[in-house]
Amino acid sequence: MGWAIALHGGAGDIPLSLPLERRVPREATLRRCLSLGIAALKANQPPLDVVELVVRELENCPHFNAGRGSVLTTNGTVEMEACIMDGNTKSCGAVSGVSTVVNPISLARLVMEKTPHIYLGFDGAEAFAREQCVETVETGHFITQENVERLRQAKEANRVQIDYTQPSHGDTPPQPTSADNGDSQIGTVGCVAVDGKGNLAAATSTGGLVNKMVGRIGDTPVIGAGTYANTFCAVSATGKGEFIIRATVARDVAALMEYKGLSMKEAAAYVINSVPKCHAGLVAVSANGEVAMPFNTKGMFRACATEDGYSEIGIWDTEVEHNFIDLKS
Ligand code: ASP
């Protein structure tokens, strides 16, 4: 038993040839966010605060698909989504269709703490943000040149990044198109954490899919699909939302532990293998401080650390940076 933390910056068809100028800032952000989360856990901050803190930081980074770096809808607009959940109480909050809120994850937490509801979307979520005086900006703040270009390429190839014109059932992996310039797949962000007493929390935030329909809601804010926490584990998923929702990915990990007695690693691997190949990944921690980070995509930006001093930062299956760091210092 000990604290543990895991975070992700999205799973997808990340080519091994990912240019250094795209790889380095993302790895640096993962490292920085991991250190931030470790410091917060060591300072005995509650896991719910830790996951919110880390996801806010990831939302502020334009290199990931959440907050500042959110990808664009087919109309060139931003519709962000986020979800947060506390394992002990199963309290949770979620937002969708947010277009001016700097940190949607904190708005999701306010929905959880300040409303009788769980999930607010679109105009109602924006009005609530103003009522709560959270930081908002002109929507143009979120429209980066990189995402304008990603949208252009997706439209040229007539695809949603996870393409609803391609087969959406069965095991057929998406076929590469001219839009796969090595960076069409930027990722959703998420963080899960457990403290030394077994308190768990999960948080996930996203801009969704490039060229998604206006109004589309993915797995991220759907409790039990992209995000879930109970007293067994905390899970944050990433990948193609339509597949993750069908497979109730996050809840299934918890259910396999609870009802089948599987270890978290076994449960997480089982669930990821049950999603059609190339479509999903997740990070999870258990109440006793185990970590799992399986994915069936080419890669997943990810990082983790545990109280016994183990830490890992990786993108693909190989080339993982394993470290034993002295976390006591
Ligand atoms: N799961 C997200 C969605 O479908 C996308 C991602 O994880 O990158 O909205």
> Domain boundaries in the chain?
4-165+180-306
Given this model, what pLDDT does residue 258 score? Answer: 97
Nearest to 282 by CA among 182, 221, 195, 191: 191
For residue 23, the surrounding DSSP H or E stretch is helix 20-42
Reading phi first (left if > 0) and then psi (alpha if -120 to 50, else beta), residue 276 is in beta
Residue ranges, the chain, pLDDT below 70: 161-186, 319-329
Given this model, what pLDDT does residue 145 score? Answer: 92
Residue 95 CA to ligand 1 centre (angstroms) = 14
Give the ranges where 43-183 is alpha helix by DSSP (H). Answer: 47-59, 104-114, 122-131, 145-156
Round to whole Å and give the CA distance between 244 and 271: 10
List the residue whose alpha carbon is closest to atom 9 of ligand 1: 208
Structure tokens at 11: 């799973």
Structure tokens at 52: 């919110």
pLDDT tens-digit readout, 1-30:
799 999 999 999 898 888 898 899 999 999
With beta carbons less than 8 A apart as the criterion, state whether 120 and 84 touch. Answer: no
At 187, the amino acid letter reads G
Q: Could you tell me if the CB of 204 is within 6 A of ligand 1?
A: no
Given this model, what pLDDT does residue 17 score? Answer: 87
- Probe target for ligand 1 pocket from 81, 188, 236, with the most ligand atoms within 8 Å of CB: 188
**Is 241 part of any known ligand binding site?**
yes
Report the CATH number of the 4-165+180-306 domain: 3.60.20.30
Given this model, what pLDDT does residue 166 score? Answer: 37
Task: Write down how long the chain is.
Answer: 329
Nearest to 59 by CA among 40, 82, 93: 82
